[in-house]
Structure 1
Amino acid sequence: MTSETPRNSAVHDSVAAGIPTALADLGALVRIPSIAWPAFDQTALERSADAVAALATSTGVFDRVDVTRSRIPGTDEFGQPAVLATRAARNGRPTVLLYAHHDVQPTGDDDLWETPPFEPTVREGRLYGRGAADDKAGVMVHIAALRALKEIAGDDLSLGVALFIEGEEEYGSRSFGQFLSDNADALRSDVIVVADSGNWDAETPALTVSLRGNARFTLTVRTLDHASHSGMFGGAVPDAFMATVKLLATLWDDDGAVAVDGLLERDAETPPYDEATLRDEAGLPDGVSPVGRGSILSRIWNKPSITITGIDATSVEAASNTLAPEISVVISARVAPGQRAEEAYAAIETHLRAHAPFGAQLTFTDVDCGDPFLVDTSGWAVEAARAALSVGYGVDAVDVGIGGSIPFIADLIEQFPGAQILVTGIEDPHTRAHSPNESLHLATFRRAVLSEALLLENLDSRTI
């Protein structure tokens, strides 16, 4: 447990003194447009990785700091640059693996941003910019906490530390499993801290104990060999857009709940969370009703969902009186904890094939599956993390589920089955990660740094 000791008291002072530098470093990272998608400038990812490596070196903690890549399984390509920094444990202390990622989502429509996405801007207690929260703030929580620990422990620091900052989390972590295999000895640890989740709100810390999985794929619907005149043949010939709309509508029932046989739900209690809170945090306007059934948080944490996240079709600007021969859509499903993602994908594919209207031809490509995650909360590291969060925030930590997915956690569990995994974060319900005007609540950042520094100080005092 986190208790008041001379070193523990020094953590508070060291963290407070280091916050201005940490925020300046965060701003510098946000200025680098490190998007892993091939359509974007890939040299930005290299600059971002180099910047993170320099920050890791500056902590004075590590014996070795490298920027490295691993091969993408089944290809001759290598993944995006990751930072791996290590120091060996001493005097019987544990080793902790600290994870975050330095790549970010594309910005989307820049006109929807109130300030430029890669120009960090502070207003009303929040730092705005792409990656300001997800997940360059996670990177800087690790760096700032390590700086504080090194300052107070000096040469007496005995904790083993591996810092792994990934460069392609937003692009599917294509080389993640291979990276773990290639660097298994360097990454092997007793405790893993994944700083890529969220809190209950801006003041209340959370430990994420469940995550939904994901099954993402591209569906192509074809009904014609070529485009035809909608006036000449409309009414007799099914165009691909018509077939796609009818087919996609079968995925949900009239309440908006998923209507696919074979998708499972998890039966677990959820904390109170009312519709007014949902409307505020999600931006749901008056008059637009929520979808699904059951408690709101059960719909987000414990039930499957299906979202259409992209479509290739004629734009409004280019619309013509034409029957479209082929339409492609990206379908993103979230999988309830307790079900394998590949099993969920198979259920969705079976459903779509069974409901294809007018004999439409379906093609499934770019399938990407990641399993859900449930934390074993019985370990000593979970207790230590809860205590550190409660002290760092001044409010007791709560256990939460997350509707989003961090698929690589299943890879971590498989590669390091003996490690205790802690999923923490710096996002709050108004962060708008992945959306325009992403932001970081600055007070939350300070509390997150203090909490992690307290946790690391606790681990550095523990013998295993």
Structure 2
Amino acid sequence: MPVMTSPIMSESDLREAVTRELPGVRADLERLVRIPGIAFEGFDHSHVERSAEAVAELLRGCGLDVEVARAGGQPAVIGRRAAPPGAPTVMLYAHHDVQPIGDRALWESDPFEPVERDGRLYGRGAADDKAGIMAHVAALRAFGDQLPVGVVVFVEGEEEYGSDSLERLLAEHRDKLASDVIVIADSTNWDVGVPALTTSLRGIVNCFVEVRTLDHAVHSGMFGGAVPDALTTLVRLLATLHDDAGNVAVQGLVAREGASVDYPEDRFRVEAGLADGVRLFGSGRITDRLWTKPALAVLGIDAPATGEAPNALVPTAKAKLSVRLAPGDEPKRAYAALREHLERNAPWGAQVEITFEHDGAPCVIDASGPMFDAARSAFRTAWDGTDAVEIGVGGSIPFIATFQEMFPQAAILVTGVEDPHARAHGPNESLHLGEFARVCLAEALLLARVAQTRSGVNP
């Protein structure tokens, strides 16, 4: 491997450069947060277009060749800068779309007007994942013209909506995206002050189940007691999805034990916001329940609202289900098992219709090798001597499996800007600004260490 001919910025110079760039990086992050780029159906997608253009402008300002690309879905942004002779190329991934805000009344401030409170920046997308974009920008700005590696910045525009066009985008731009290392800045750290490398993620299967017991609503007094209403029937069916301890009771789903990190219950209860007196459900270590076992949740129910419900038996009721799959499971097989369970357990002969929505594969990452050592070294330095924890994540980033398949030789580093208090996807999402500064420094140090690793210099 050729030795690099240009010097790599020192750790002290990178620290100084990141510190210098942080005020501008934060200002640009706030500008991104103000754009309500939601890729879900029913929202104004012109904001997603605005968001993509804003990201493209940021990358052009870093000296990258930039294009806004799409493959039938929302716009992604691809920025490229060629590697110096003998240097590797690193792909930096993030996404610029955000989740819907949900109930506006639950937000303490305008979701799309960033506000700092107690060292945290509040706003939808402040953590997930516009801070991921800005961590990439911060590292690029810190190096300026002295970037020691080639970079491909890939910023997706519909990750929160399922990444439907991502595989087509990757296929169409595969040669441009080819990299030695892929940094996916869309995960979390173990705690404030403790960095993490994510080495496994659960998969996902979402579907709808609808039950029918009547052709039309009927008087609850005239027919109640003999005719099962659909809502009671649906509730009874949903209750079969868990055993008495709260474990998922769908036969055939993969479940394992052996998570490498413990999660103290008192800390978990606080970070989850569990109400007083509510017991955890499921069995085994908390990290096993979150990372290596399936989880099943009812996300919503279509039925008459309580304030409008007449004294009538409901003929149909519908629920949305979400199953998180343990690493090692397969989405299509898991959906078949769930479908079979729902059809077999339909109470009182009710008609049951199951409709598939979407799925995504789980993944496991082998975090060994020089690029992962470079990441650990960078994190240890940025967090003042604290080693990174290897964690699983209960959430899903299905496209990681796609990256593994399409770029099998690349080391995939799943990092992130979030912490357990970030409340991504929920009301009052926020970014810890002190941790964000460490993330930015860590990414700059990582690029330097990757260059040093490939050039034969001891990082």
Give the alignment's TM-score, normalised by structure 1: 0.94
2:240 maps to 250
**Is the counterpart of residue 291 in structure 1 residue 294 in structure 2?**
no
1:382 partner SS: helix
Where does 1:111-150 land on structure 2 (aligned, <5 Å)? 111-150=105-144
The question of whether the paired residues in 1 share the 8 Å contact of 2:259 and 2:291 is answered with no
Instruction: State yes or no: 1:312 paired with 2:302.
Output: yes
Residue deviations 1:152-208 (CA, integer Å, cap 9, x gap) = x1xxx3512111100101101110111111111111111100000001101100000
Tell me the alpha carbon deviations over residues 247-273 of structure 1, each in whole angstroms, 9 at most, x when there is no partner. 000000111111111111123233232
Q: Within 5 A, what are the aligned runs for 1:99-178?
A: 99-150=93-144, 153=146, 157-178=147-168
1:42 aligned to which of 36, 45, 52: 45
Q: Which residue matches 2:4?
A: none
Whether 1:66 and 2:74 are equivalent positions in the alignment is: no
Q: Who is 1:402 aligned against?
A: 393
Deviation sequence 1:393-423 (CA, Å, 0-9, x none):
1111110111111011111111111111000
Give the root-mean-square deviation of aligned CA atoms.
Answer: 1.4
Aligned match for 1:20, one of 23, 33, 54: 23
Which residue of the partner structure matches residue 445 of structure 2?
Answer: 454
Residues 173-184 of structure 1 mapped to structure 2, 5 A cutoff: 173-184=163-174
- Rounded to whole Å, the distance in 1 between the matches of 2:257 and 2:55 is 41
The equivalences for 1:438-453 within 5 A come to 438-453=429-444
Letter in 2 for 1:313: A
Report the AA paired with residue 221 of structure 2: G
Matched, 1:95 2:89: yes
Q: Is the 8 A contact 2:259 2:287 kept in 1?
A: no
1:430 aligns with 2:421: yes
Q: Retained in 2: the 8 A contact 1:266–1:338?
A: no
Partner of 1:461, secondary structure, is: helix
Identity between Structure 1 and Structure 2 (%) = 54
> Which among 276, 280, 288 is matched to residue 270 of structure 2?
280
Between the two proteins, the alignment pairs up a number of residues equal to 448
Secondary structure of the equivalent of 2:10?
Answer: helix
Q: Tell me the CA shift for residue 6 of structure 1.
A: 5.3
Q: CA deviation at 1:109?
A: 0.5
After superposition, the Cα gap between the structure-2 partners of 1:208 and 1:404, relative to the gap in structure 1 and judged at 3 Å, is same
Structure-2 separation of matches of 1:90 and 1:45: 34
Shift of 1:5: 7.5
Q: Secondary structure at the match of 2:358?
A: strand
Pair 1:199-2:186 in alignment: no
Matched to 1:32, the amino acid is I
Query: Which 10-residue stretch deviates more, 290-299 or 311-320?
Result: 311-320
SS at match of 2:454: coil
User: In the TM superposition, what is the alpha-carbon distance from 1:342 to its structure 2 partner?
Assistant: 1.7
Q: How far 1:150 sits from its partner (Å)?
A: 2.0
Instruction: Report the Cα distance in structure 1 between the residues aligned to 2:307 and 2:153, rounded to whole angstroms.
Output: 48
- Tell me the equivalent position of 1:388: 378
What runs of 5+ residues in structure 1 fail to find an aligned partner? 71-77
Comparing 29-38 with 87-96, which one deviates more in the overlay?
87-96
- The offset of 1:286, in angstroms, is 2.1
1:335 aligns with 2:319: no
CA offset at residue 224 of structure 1? 1.5
2:205 to 205, 210, 215: 215
Q: Does 1:301 align with 2:291?
A: yes
Alignment correspondent of 1:33: 36
User: Normalising by the residue count of structure 2, what TM-score does the alignment of the two structures yield?
Assistant: 0.95
Query: Aligned AA for 1:66?
Result: E
Deviation at 1:226, TM superposition (A): 1.7
Task: Report the counterpart of residue 73 of structure 1 in structure 2.
Answer: none
**Equivalent of 1:55 in 45, 58, 72:** 58
Q: What SS is found at the alignment partner of 2:274?
A: coil
Check the 8 A contact 1:149/1:456 in 2, yes or no: no
Please say if residues 9 and 448 of structure 2, whose CA atoms lie closer than 8 Å, have aligned partners that are also in contact.
Answer: no
Deviation above 6 Å: which 4+ runs of structure 1? none
Write the distance in 1 (CA, Å) between the matches of 2:137 and 2:8.
23
Q: Does 1:421 align with 2:412?
A: yes
Which amino acid letter does the alignment assign opposite residue 66 of structure 2?
V
- Structure 2 unpaired stretches of 5+: 1-6
- The 10-residue stretch of structure 1 (268-277 or 120-129) with the greater mean CA deviation from structure 2: 268-277
Change (3 A) 1:340 1:321: same
